[in-house]
Amino acid sequence: MSIFSHPDFDNHEGVYSFCDPESGLKCFIAVHNTNRGPASGGTRFWTYVDDNAALTDVLRLSKAMSFKNAMAEIPLGGGKGVILKPEGEFDREALFSAYGRAVEKVGGQYITAEDVGVSPADMRVIKTQTNFVAGLDDGDAASGDPSPHTAEGIFRGLEVAVKHKLGVEGVGGLIVAVQGLGHVGYELARKLKKSGAQLIVADINSEATQRAADVLKATVVSVDEIHAQEADIFAPCALGGAINADTIDDIQAYIVGGAANNQLKTAELGTALMERDILYCPDYVLNAGGIINVAAEVSGTYDYSWVDGKLEGLRKTLQEVFDRSASSGRATNLVADEMARERLKLS
């Protein structure tokens, strides 16, 4: 299949593939749009079923980053990197060094950061090969792990959604089903619990769910059942596609909003949620806190007051999405896409 005929190709400015046989590196870097500045987005390290699955992921994620950065009103474009996890044993430092060289070859059009499967230690290795990296835990403008800021943005956005949909202030007393307890999912769950929410959780990692049960007094269910819980909010915080043809009819929550990227398997599912009177919080609006924090680092002078102001801006943007959706009768994801394209000056 030609890249230009790929169903997820959206006039991407550049799509790069890199291979380093010695380290086992096979990766894609996609630059979707640089109208607002250099493309930025995390690098994902994952086991893909095949090359096409990885390519599909990088195309979709890079486009989402363009929309996310535009809706967050930060001076960055959208890009993404995905590394296909090698089979068997491999030298992790050698692999991420090779990836750093790949990022360097893109020549500053793409600034990488952390995503699923990548740690702060990996970022330090990448940094040895390129300066086009953020999310570091040392340096003059280091911002560290962006996960807490992502969780904070989601928490604030869910407060907006709860007010809009349920007419109540805050999440106290509400039931929230959290799918995925990684860095962002667990931090979000912790914030929700601290504010008085009741938690139902699921994760493939039994240690994570046990921790949530012990520390957050969460009820644990299977990953196959979390979406179908009787809850006020369903928060997908694992990988994409949580809302799909197999799960949508089972969702009982009034609100869907979480950390995962590309939560809707297809755009049409946003309309399906609306028709079921379920309020969908477009993922790239809700989960932009991490990239906002990265943008502060990229600026060269980290200023938390700027980050906090942008997080508050997300609340206003999300409310605008809800209001436009209500007045037009169109699904929130379609309204958000339209707004993002307006801000990117795309047709």
Amino acid, res. 59: L
Q: For residue 85, indicate whether it is catalytic.
A: no
Cβ neighbours of residue 312 under 8 Å, at least 6 residues apart? 156
Tell me: the pLDDT tens digits for 65-95?
999 999 999 999 999 999 999 999 999 999 9
Q: Which residue has the tokens 């769910």?
A: 209
Q: Which residue has the tokens 């280091």?
A: 142
Distance from first CA to last CA of the chain, Å, rounded?
A: 25
DSSP conformation class of 218: P
Decide whether 3-60+76-127 matches 147-289+314-344 in CATH topology.
yes
Closest-CA residue to 189 (of 178, 203, 173) = 178
pLDDT of residue 347: 61
Mean of pLDDT values over 30-56? 96
On average, the pLDDT of the chain sits at 94
- Residue 43 clears pLDDT 60, i.e. is over it: yes
Q: What is the DSSP string of 297-328?
A: HHTTS--HHHHHHHHHHHHHHHHHHHHHHHHH
- Residue 299 clears pLDDT 90, i.e. is over it: no
| pTM of the full structure | 0.88
**What is each CA distance from 60 to 81, 247, 331, in whole angstroms?**
11, 21, 19
Task: Give Cα 254 to chain centroid, integer Å.
Answer: 21
Report residue 192 as tokens. Answer: 């929700």
Rounded to 5°, angle at Cα 204 from 258 and 174: 40
pLDDT of residue 328: 98
pLDDT of residue 82: 98
CA atoms within 13 A on the CB side of 239: 11
Task: Give Cα 13 to chain centroid, integer Å.
Answer: 21
pLDDT of residue 139: 61
Q: How many helices (H) and strands (E) does the chain have?
A: 11, 11
- Tell me phi and psi for residue 122, to 5 degrees: -65, -40
What's the CA gap between 323 and 328, in Å, rounded? 9
Tell me: the pLDDT tens digits for 197-225?
999 999 999 999 999 999 999 999 999 99
Tell me: the pLDDT tens digits for 121-171?
999 999 999 999 987 776 655 566 778 999 999 999 999 999 999 999 999
Q: Where are the domains of the chain?
A: 3-60+76-127, 147-289+314-344
What's the CA gap between 60 and 65, in Å, rounded? 9
- Tell me phi and psi for residue 192, to 5 degrees: -65, -45
Report residue 228 as tokens. Answer: 């179908």
pLDDT of residue 143: 62
Give the percent of the chain with pLDDT over 90.
88
pLDDT of residue 280: 98
Closest-CA residue to 235 (of 184, 290, 272) = 184
pLDDT of residue 27: 98
What's the CA gap between 186 and 83, in Å, rounded? 24
Class of domain 147-289+314-344: alpha beta
39-46 and 14-20: which strand pairing? unpaired
Report residue 76 as tokens. Answer: 């960055």
Amino acid, res. 83: I
DSSP conformation class of 119: -
- Fold of the domain built from segment(s) 3-60+76-127: Rossmann fold (3.40.50)
pLDDT of residue 120: 85
- Tell me phi and psi for residue 80, to 5 degrees: -160, 150
What's the CA gap between 78 and 94, in Å, rounded? 27
Mean of pLDDT values over 213-242? 96
Catalytic residue among 63, 68, 80, 193: 80
Tell me: the pLDDT tens digits for 96-125?
999 999 999 999 999 999 888 998 899 999
Report residue 279 as tokens. Answer: 């309020």
Q: Which ranges constitute the DSSP H helices of 178-229?
A: 183-194, 206-216
pLDDT of residue 13: 97
Mean of pLDDT values over 43-51? 95
What's the CA gap between 314 and 153, in Å, rounded? 7
